[in-house]
Structure 1
């Protein structure tokens, strides 16, 4: 008959196995889409026999796919299916749309609602004014994390591990204003964390300025971001700074709509969390 101690030992073993599975899945990135079991063992520090066993199990349940007869693996479509369900269940689009629409009408500029897809910021929604003065809603595929206001607004509230993973995956130069140095990006993210919003001053696209703020889920974790963007000549830095409060306030309201309760929900520690006191930014 199993004792309580036996059950606790079994639970701890299961948790350790799940941690190993996550370590394996997190080895993959856009730059390293195909890896051998030896590559995975080297990156995780797991024994090769353990790695081969877990990789085979993940392949059998569809979380990894083997590349033909080659001994390399990539993330499986099962993860895409699960991720799509997560997005649908979040219902971010319907909760946030009224706020994004109001923000667009007040500012007269484009608004973007984005979520992190594991590598880039995926646009859930973009609202813009057409020539006749009516709001248009369009979908866009993705945008870089390191040089957009939505990307930096998301990244500043993430763990040191994720930030360094983004940096190590490379910081491509989109314009002459793009931050491509890891140390400079870290310094920028710290400033963003302290003030509660991020600016994109022609970093992703020449002639375009943006201001973005983070959106939290019910657990307090930042998982999405909202921004206002427009021509640099119409949105110089002083005007962006003037709009920052409105963008942060709107992101804050969306977070509350999604179930975030400031002071009652605790997010995971971020790269810039202070040990003495954690700033509670709007949004």
Structure 2
């Protein structure tokens, strides 16, 4: 019985540590113990002990002046290992570079993770406009071009899970009707690419196409994002053609033979 309690306490501590690490974002890169305690509903003493342990292993760093914590270099080394062993991350980089040079807009590689779109790779253009995207950023799938492409080729179970969690409205163009989204997904699969015209952020448009692996399974989306002044509706076909050509090259690098 005592051993079981010790195991439960250990697992609880690990879970708390992981929750704390995942609470850091680009919007909140630094946090005090009190901030973490409030946002996660954990006791301050528990958070303090956990942060001390994480700091001793280099997973977080404490600023001696502000008393705020930020993520440490140990996580950076782990992320490098993950990136170097993620085929789509490695194989897409040179293709994204050429596409950005060709189109003059920022490009991403993204995947679905826990009903969200997460960006694995980003190559920025020479004239970037500030968008809410960065490697590791999570966005909703129903209002992003990459997310809709991934949903269009996903299992019915995943699509239903996204619908069940609700289609939050971000702009006047966000699709919030499940039937309209399903119809849009069918059209995307028919066309081979997706668009998002100010569906997540005002003034921001994007176009995406699917990336396949050696099994013929869609494993990622390649998207190009830019301001509505540069990615206009009459340019969609031209952009889509080049994006699809890029996804074809990435897919072939992943072993896809179509």
The answer to whether the superposition gives a TM-score over 0.5 is yes
Q: SS of the residue aligned with 1:124?
A: strand
The match for 1:6 is: none
Q: Which residues of 2 match residues 1-283 of structure 1 at below 5 A?
A: 89-130=85-126, 139-262=135-258
The match for 2:31 is: none
Q: Comparing both structures, which one devotes a greater share of its residues to helix?
A: 2
The match for 1:26 is: none
Distance 1:103 1:186, change over 3 A: same
Distance 1:177 1:94, change over 3 A: same
The match for 2:30 is: none
**Structure 1 residue runs without a partner (length 5+):** 1-55, 263-283
The whole-number CA distance in structure 1 between the counterparts of 2:84 and 2:115 is 19
The whole-number CA distance in structure 2 between the counterparts of 1:170 and 1:149 is 18
Shift of residue 90, structure 1, vs aligned partner:
3.1
| Residues paired across the two proteins, number | 189
Note if contact 2:83-2:90 (Cα within 8 Å) is conserved in structure 1: no
- 1:203-237 deviations in whole A, cap 9, x for unaligned? 01110111100111222111110011111122111
Note if contact 1:123-1:141 (Cα within 8 Å) is conserved in structure 2: yes
The whole-number CA distance in structure 2 between the counterparts of 1:196 and 1:105 is 23
The whole-number CA distance in structure 2 between the counterparts of 1:166 and 1:221 is 20
Note if contact 2:84-2:90 (Cα within 8 Å) is conserved in structure 1: no
Shift of residue 186, structure 1, vs aligned partner:
0.2
Q: TM-score, normalised by structure 1?
A: 0.60
Note if contact 1:210-1:240 (Cα within 8 Å) is conserved in structure 2: no
Q: SS of the residue aligned with 2:98?
A: helix
The whole-number CA distance in structure 2 between the counterparts of 1:260 and 1:118 is 25
Shift of residue 152, structure 1, vs aligned partner:
0.7
Q: TM-score, normalised by structure 2?
A: 0.65
Structure 1 vs Structure 2 CA RMSD = 3.1
- 1:110-164 deviations in whole A, cap 9, x for unaligned? 11111222221111122222459xxxx9635122111111111111001111111
- 1:142-190 deviations in whole A, cap 9, x for unaligned? 2211111111111100111111111111111111110011111000000
